[in-house]
Each structure stands twice: as structure tokens, then as C-alpha cells.
Amino acid sequence: MPDTLIITNDSLGLAQAADILHAGGLVAVPTETVYGLAGDARNDRAVASIFAAKGRPRFNPLIVHLADLSEIRRYATLTPLARQLAQAFWPGPLTLVLPLRPDSGLSPLVTSGLDSVAIRLPADPIARALLSAFGGPIAAPSANPSGQISPVSAQHVLDGLNGRIDAVLDGGDCAVGLESTILDATSQTPRLLRAGGLAVEAIEGALGMRVEAAQSDKITAPGQLASHYAPRGRVRLDVTTPDAGDIWVGFGPCPGAKLSLSQAGDLTQAAARLFHTLHDADTLAGAGGTIAFAPVPETGLGRAINDRLRRAAAPR
Ligand code: TXA
Ligand code: MG
């Protein structure tokens, strides 16, 4: 494939991106969480080429992105719990797993043959404009080669996938910077499948109940694999005193740190900068170096940040 086309964010560009999707092609699209690798969720060939472009080892289920709540009933059943969550948090960085409608028309590759489907209404205006221009359901995992760091800029997408996908729609940096929080909302008991860009505490506040983590069962998602988001070098966590030669990444006051997730110790800023910082640290440390992260508190978005850091540090 020739170089990946860089499409600018204007009405012509959106129409061009929608045309590529209609033709079964792949376009990387900005969302408020991370860039997604978008394809027509009804087109088996398009969905299969998403897996091929990423080099995903298995056919794990993908998230279906929609422009509007009214479209959901064509693909899934909106349970009472899901309705409540949708009202509180959509559009936004929350994905709900819902009962799949048997006549959804979605490619079975999108759902890995499960009888449930993950759905998200993104808040990012460019993602929403493309969804409207396309007029259908878009399947999109994060737009990075399998196992590598998620992209939060168009350049990150090109670094990983140039020549492997048709185009990237350049929408600048992602505002949230972490993948969506995923909840199983198939029953009235919400279960957390992945911590992400919406803090669990916010969900618990809206529902007035505790949200338990799901028991890991049949679904082994790439984001659930122990080693993921991996830079080339070694990663160490909870480092308050770095070794000489470490690329030390601070959180809060860390005198001498080369990089920082947030000098002010702000978790929202740290989330938005996490994947940028991992990319930058990877460049500085190289394959033989060590990236050492200062401790990040395990509350709010800190839970999702620590989840991604633990996977980046896991043995490969
Ligand atoms: O923020 C995000 O969620 C980004 C943007 C592009 O929307 N997407 C993303 O996709 O992170 P991906 O493929 O990296 O993660 C999708 C996750 C997988 O871990 C998968 O297991 C889970 O969604 N998933 C999808 N369908 C599911 C289902 N029916 N049941 C349980 N989990 C499901
Ligand atoms: Mg991913």
C-alpha cells in the first residue's frame, strides 16, 4: 500500500473520509479518548482488514461507534441500566456492553460471535461529524499496532500504521487521552470490564451504587492482556529514587525528572498526557533503556493510568 493519506479536518476532508469508509477502506479517526482505526461495522472485509492492519493476534470484539442514541435500537437492546448511564454520560468516554440484536446487520467479526455488543457515542466533534457524514455504525479499536502504545495524535498513528491503512483524519491531540471506560450493562448489575477515561467514582455517583470489576472470563481483550502499551525499553513503576540513566517520569513534584505526567499532580492532565509521555519516553530511552515512573495515586483516573502503566511494565 502507498503512504497513508493525511486528511485535514474540514467538510471536504470529512466527505473524503466517509467515502473511504463506504468503499470498505480504513481511516484513523480522532476521538476524545484515543485515535480509533475506523471501518464500516457492517462490512466483513473492512472489519477483517482492521485486524490485519493492527496485527491483532486474535479476533477480539470491537467497539461500535454511533452518532446518536436513537440509532442504538437497530443494533442492541438499551437496558434500563444502560438508559440511565447513557443519559448521564453520553456522548463521552464510556462504552456499554449491551445485548446484541440478532438482526443487527453487524459483521460477526465485530462481536467475535458473542451475543453482546460494545457501543460508544463519542463526544469529539470530529468523530461525531464523521459518523454523521458516514451515516452508519463504525467499528474502531485504537489505531496502533497490536500491543503498542495507543495513539493520541495523527503523528502517533502514522508512526505505527503508515502504509497499512488508507488515511488518517488529523484532528490534533485527543482531549482525554485514555481509552473509554467499559461497563457490562447487559443486566441491572453493572460490571467494570476496563477502567478508562471516565472515573468509576463518577459512574457510582450517578447510579448510587457500587460498581464491581467483572470476573475475567471468556473475553480476553487486547487491553486485558498482561503486556500491552509496551515501549521498547524496560518500564519500572513506583520509582521515587531513579537509577542513573533511567528516564524518570514524574507525577507531582519530582526534582530532576526528565518528563512529567503532571507537575501539579493533576490526574486529568496526567491522563491526557499519558500516551504522549510514553511515546516521548520511548524515544528518549530507546530499546536498551529504562523508563521509571513515579507513583500515581490509585483514585479516579489514577486507576486507569496505573492499569495502563502496569501493562506497559509487564514482562513480555
Ligand atoms: O476509547 C476507546 O474505547 C477506543 C476508541 C477508539 O473508541 N477504542 C478502544 O478499542 O480502545 P479497543 O479495541 O482497544 O478495545 C475494545 C475493548 C476490548 O478490550 C474488548 O474486549 C471490549 O472492548 N469489548 C468489545 N466488545 C465486547 C463485548 N461484547 N463484551 C465484552 N467486551 C467487549
Ligand atoms: Mg487498544
Of 215 and 172, more confident = 172
- Residues 270-279: what's their mean pLDDT? 89
Q: Does the beta carbon of 174 sit less than 6 angstroms from any atom of ligand 1?
A: no
Range with the poorest average pLDDT among 160-169, 251-260, 297-306: 297-306
- Tell me which amino acid residue 228 is: H
Question: Which pLDDT belongs to residue 109?
Answer: 85
Cα–Cα dist 159/181, whole Å: 26
The tens digit of pLDDT for each residue in 183-215 reads: 999 999 999 999 999 999 999 999 999 998 887
- Work out the burial of residue 138: count CB atoms within 10 Å of its CB; fewer than 13 is exposed, 13-18 middle, 19 or more buried: buried
The ligand 1 atom at the shortest distance from the C-alpha of residue 197 is 1
Question: Which pLDDT belongs to residue 216?
Answer: 61
C-alpha cell at 97: 456492553
Is residue 9 within 8 Å of 171, Cβ to Cβ? yes
- Residues 133-162: what's their mean pLDDT? 96
Residue % of the chain over a pLDDT of 90: 81
Q: Does the beta carbon of 193 sit less than 6 angstroms from any atom of ligand 1?
A: yes
Handedness of CA 261, 266, 267, 273 (dihedral sign): negative
Closest CA to 161 of 286, 26, 63: 26
Question: If pLDDT is split at 50, 70 and 90, which confidence band does 43 have?
Answer: very high
- The rounded Å distance from CA 129 to ligand 2 centre is 23
The alpha carbon of residue 240 and the mean position of all alpha carbons in its chain are separated, in whole angstroms, by 29
Phi and psi torsions of 178, nearest 5°: -130, 150
The tens digit of pLDDT for each residue in 263-274 reads: 999 998 898 889
Of 21 and 215, more confident = 21
Q: Does the beta carbon of 117 sit less than 6 angstroms from any atom of ligand 1?
A: yes
Q: Does the beta carbon of 223 sit less than 6 angstroms from any atom of ligand 1?
A: yes
Question: If pLDDT is split at 50, 70 and 90, which confidence band does 169 have?
Answer: very high
Q: Does the beta carbon of 116 sit less than 6 angstroms from any atom of ligand 1?
A: yes
- The rounded Å distance from CA 50 to ligand 1 centre is 13
- Work out the burial of residue 240: count CB atoms within 10 Å of its CB; fewer than 13 is exposed, 13-18 middle, 19 or more buried: exposed
Residue % of the chain over a pLDDT of 70: 96
- The rounded Å distance from CA 223 to ligand 2 centre is 6
Atom 8 (ligand 1): residue with closest C-alpha?
A: 141
Cα–Cα dist 168/36, whole Å: 10
Buried b (16+ CB within 10 A) or exposed e, 30-64: bbbbbbbbbbbbbbeebbebbbebbebeeebbbbb
Instruction: Look at strands 191-194 and 138-139 and give their pairing.
Output: unpaired
| 266: Cβ contacts below 8 Å, ≥ 6 apart | none
Whether the predicted pLDDT of 286 surpasses 90? yes
The tens digit of pLDDT for each residue in 47-85 reads: 988 988 998 766 689 999 999 999 999 999 999 999 999
CA distances for 313 relative to 43, 217, 269, angstroms: 36, 23, 21
Closest CA to 305 of 247, 313, 297: 297
Tell me the residue ranges of DSSP E strands in 125-277: 138-139, 167-170, 181-184, 191-194, 212-213, 234-236, 247-250, 259-260
Of 137 and 276, more confident = 137
The ligand 1 atom at the shortest distance from the C-alpha of residue 118 is 26
Q: Mean pLDDT in the chain?
A: 93
Range with the poorest average pLDDT among 133-147, 219-233, 267-281: 219-233
Whether the predicted pLDDT of 217 surpasses 80? no
Three-state DSSP class for 238?
A: coil
Question: Which pLDDT belongs to residue 222?
Answer: 47
Where do we find the cell 473524503? 16
Cα–Cα dist 259/278, whole Å: 10
- Give the global pTM: 0.88
Question: Which pLDDT belongs to residue 55?
Answer: 87
